[in-house]
Chains A and B, each alone.
Chain A
Amino acid sequence: MSWTRKHLLDIESLTVDEIVAVLDTARAFKAVGERAIKKVPALRGKTVINLFVEPSTRTRISFELAEQRLSADVINFSAEASSFKKGETLKDTARNLEALNADFIVIRHSASGAPHFLARVLNASVINAGDGAHEHPTQALLDVFTIREHKGKIEGLNITILGDILYSRVARSNIWALRKLGATVTLCGPATLVPKTFEQMGCRVTYDVDEAIRDADIINLLRIQHERQRQTMFPSINEYIQLFGLNQARLAKTKPDALIMHPGPINRGVEIDSNIADSGRSLILEQVTNGLAVRMAVLFLVNGGKGPPEVAGN
């Protein structure tokens, strides 16, 4: 076991061994979710604060359930109801939370680097639940976990990420994880949202969707993030559907065992045809189940990241 980190801030700084450690650990936690009693005492007596400065429903619920299934005490702190509205800085808010003896802070923030900042100023373990357009490490880990479950490996696979890459922390974290594990990553979407600069991360960039998905083993669809676009990046939603939406005709031209993923929330009829989302080739709901297991694994590993390494034997 090669995990010695106190925080999970991004995928970029993780080694292959560390990523694999999370995936292997998550396998055991997935089995816990299938039992009659879905709770284990691993974080008993620990306090976790979910500091969601940017709104989130599914990631927060997933983290919250993961924490509860590890027997931690959980506090949810959201931007709407918080003192940020009253002018308190992130550092002061976090310090106040730490004064309550929090052991873990799970942070979602619209500013890239916010989790890294907290990790520097606090003693608690910090887990990044999404920072701006930078990274969303647990999403990438659950995506990789899901792919590995179905394909048995990551190395040598063709993974196509289709949609809004520019504003997507999910894409960035996925690219890091997939490239480290040896997959070939193709990015596709409107040119304004898929800049050629991503080639520097070792990806192939193309604007022809049929070409992008033809040899793909996995097609990961991303939502157009209206909330992050400061100006219109493409002419219209209808044009996006015509040019990049995954429909039956396009899917028919892919490999028969190509599988479809989406981090949610899905926009039916925009990036994905409704019946494809519900088909046997869609892993969308499995991603939700696996997200819970991966987040339990991350909390479990980070909790141990403060101690000395395990002594082998006995």
Chain B
Amino acid sequence: MAKTTVILDATAIQRALTRIAHEIAERNENGAEVVLAGIPVGGDHLAQRLSKILSEIWQQPVPVGVLDVSMHRDDLDQRAAPEIHPTVIPFDVTGKTVVLVDDVLFSGRTTRAAMDALNDFGRPQKIQLAVLVDRGHRELPIKADFVGKNVPTADDEKIRVRVKENDGVDEVVLENTK
């Protein structure tokens, strides 16, 4: 029987996103150069919410897109084909600061694939990474610029991020599968 612990509830998620948005605004003085790209499933909805908070801070709309990385993964022949979601980047990324938004940072391989996928749309001036949860266990030299919560985990534990848009509830839970 898996033991689950709620590590972020709806209020804590909202607070974390607000803080991340302010950190993004602090790091990037010119809001007009910033665009967001959410990685499904999970990151795309978080990106939408960050965009909303940021557009209030900057008093201007912050474009947000969806970047699916399935076609750029490096483990495609080691697993069943992942579910693909259409990539929608409704803006030119060239010269922009693209903030990648993901729910969980783990091995770093998704982030690497995302950077590759982004290259097909142009050459961003900068790429930054925002994640709701950093659970450690990196396999690549990748580090998040903005982190909602650092959660030290064991290899066999799982982090599940549930968002209202997909799951009807906002929460992050840690599952111990042992």
Contact = CB atoms under 8 A, between A and B. Distances in A.
B52 to A, nearest CB: 25
A25 B158 contact: no
Contacts of A300: 71, 76, 81, 84
Interface in B89-121: 104, 106, 116-117, 120-121
A122 B27 CA distance: 56
A1 interface: yes
A28 B76 contact: no
A1 B106 CA distance: 22
Contact of A41 (B72, B81, B104, B106): B72
A1 B82 contact: yes
B68 A310 contact: no
Nearest to B72: A41
A306 B85 CA distance: 21
B158 A313 contact: yes
A245 to B, nearest CB: 39
Interface in B71-91: 71-73, 76-88
A301 B81 contact: yes
A127 to B, nearest CB: 14
Contacts of B120: 35-37, 39-40
A152 interface: no
A306 B81 CA distance: 9
Question: Contact size class for B?
Answer: 20 to 34
Nearest to B137: A314
B84 A3 contact: no
Question: Contact size class for A?
Answer: 35 or more
B49 interface: no
B80 A3 contact: yes
A314 B159 contact: yes
A48 to B, nearest CB: 14
A25 B79 contact: no
The A interface, classified by DSSP as helix, strand, loop or mixed, is loop
Contact of B81 (A1, A37, A39): A1
B149 interface: no
Contacts of B159: 313-314
B45 interface: no
Nearest to A302: B81
Contacts of B116: 41
Contacts of B71: 28, 32, 40-42, 70, 300
A4 B79 CA distance: 10
A309 interface: yes
Nearest to A37: B120
Interface in A34-65: 35-37, 39-43, 46
A302 B30 CA distance: 45
A109 to B, nearest CB: 26
A28 B68 contact: yes
Given A31-B87, A35-B121, A309 B79 contact: yes
B77 A304 contact: yes
B79 A310 contact: yes
Given A31-B87, A35-B120, A310-B83, A303 B72 contact: no
Nearest to A42: B71
A39 B87 CA distance: 14
Contacts of A39: 120
Nearest to B119: A37
Given A27-B86, A314-B135, A3 B81 contact: yes
A42 B104 contact: no
A1 B79 CA distance: 12
Nearest to A296: B71
B160 interface: yes
Given A37-B120, A42-B76, A314-B104, A303 B160 contact: no
18 contacts: A1-B82, A1-B83, A3-B80, A3-B81, A25-B83, A27-B86, A28-B71, A29-B84, A40-B117, A42-B76, A43-B76, A303-B77, A307-B80, A310-B82, A310-B83, A311-B79, A313-B158, A314-B104
Given A32-B71, A39-B120, A310-B81, 17 more contacts: A1-B83, A27-B86, A28-B85, A30-B86, A35-B120, A37-B120, A43-B76, A46-B77, A300-B76, A303-B81, A304-B77, A304-B81, A306-B77, A308-B78, A309-B79, A313-B104, A314-B158
